């Protein structure tokens, strides 16, 4: 697959089949991530690959993050909601938690470290597309909860930037649409 084709064809695929993904494909996806641009060559990324029962770490963290919002619910409803939270980790056969571990060098700007890790995730998504896999980058409020940081052993200053769910597509991947670059570009000569 050509790069321009992957860029245009890559879509978030939230529904994947419950089939194992070859370790070699996951390794190629991770290897593409580490080639993302990063100022000062800090390589500020960390990856936590969860498959099989390993996804339960994420499931428990989702449930723990939801606990506070469930106060006051009846026991049965609370248990049902916690079960649904835990099930989020099982939506794909592979989930990769991606974290930013920024440099402590005072010359390094934190936002650049985060941008580098976001670029790494984009490389992962493009490579997953090339490998014939469906992928979606999930984030949101639970990702910021202390239980998530604890689940992955992140230190002070480190933070999750998202979860990449991977698997073979279980849906028709829609065609993309974008506003043409010329309509969003301002030339300043």
The verdict on residue 36 lying in a domain is yes
Burial class (CB in 10 A: 0-12, 13-18, 19+), 122: middle
The range of the structural domain enclosing residue 10 comes to: 3-51+90-170
Residue 70 has what pLDDT? 82
Annotated binding site for FMN: 10-12, 39, 137-139
Find out whether 154 and 99 touch, Cβ atoms under 8 Å. yes
Q: Where are the alpha helices (DSSP H) in the chain?
A: 3-9, 23-33, 56-66, 75-87, 110-130, 141-144, 146-151
| pLDDT exceeds 80 at position 111 | yes
CA quadruple 69, 91, 123, 48: dihedral, nearest 10:
70
The verdict on residue 59 lying in a domain is no
pLDDT digits (tens, 9 = 90+) for 116-174: 999 999 999 999 999 999 999 999 999 999 999 999 999 999 999 999 999 999 988 88
Q: Which CATH number covers residue 144?
A: 3.40.109.10
Residue 152 has what pLDDT? 97
The verdict on residue 64 lying in a domain is no
pLDDT class for 67, splitting at 50, 70, 90? confident
The verdict on residue 126 lying in a domain is yes
Domain count, the chain: 1
| pLDDT exceeds 80 at position 178 | yes
Annotated binding site: 10-12, 39, 137-139
Reference 156, options 110, 97, 95; nearest CA is 110
The verdict on residue 136 lying in a domain is yes
The verdict on residue 111 lying in a domain is yes
Please, what is the angle between helix 23-33 and helix 110-130, to 10°?
A: 140
Q: Three-class SS of residue 180?
A: coil
The verdict on residue 146 lying in a domain is yes
pLDDT class for 2, splitting at 50, 70, 90? confident
Its pTM stands at 0.93
Average pLDDT over the chain reads 94
The verdict on residue 43 lying in a domain is yes
């Amino acid at each position: 697959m050509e790069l321009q084709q992957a860029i245009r064809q890559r879509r978030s695929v939230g529904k994947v089949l419950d089939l194992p993904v070859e370790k070699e494909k996951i390794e190629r996806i991770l290897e593409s991530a580490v080639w993302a641009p990063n100022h000062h060559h800090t390589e500020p990324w960390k990856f936590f690959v969860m498959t099989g029962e390993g996804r339960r770490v994420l499931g428990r963290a989702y449930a723990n993050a939801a606990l506070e919002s469930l106060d006051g619910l009846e026991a049965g409803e609370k248990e049902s909601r916690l079960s649904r939270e835990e099930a989020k980790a099982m939506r794909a056969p592979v989930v990769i938690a991606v974290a930013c571990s920024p440099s402590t060098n005072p010359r390094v700007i934190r936002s650049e470290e985060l941008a580098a890790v976001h670029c790494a995730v984009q490389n992962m998504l493009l490579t997953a597309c090339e490998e014939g896999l469906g992928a979606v980058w999930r984030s949101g409020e639970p990702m910021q909860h202390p239980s998530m940081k604890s689940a992955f052993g992140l230190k002070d200053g480190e933070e999750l930037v998202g979860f990449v769910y991977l698997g073979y597509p279980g849906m028709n991947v829609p065609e993309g649409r974008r506003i043409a670059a010329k309509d969003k570009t301002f030339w300043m000569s």
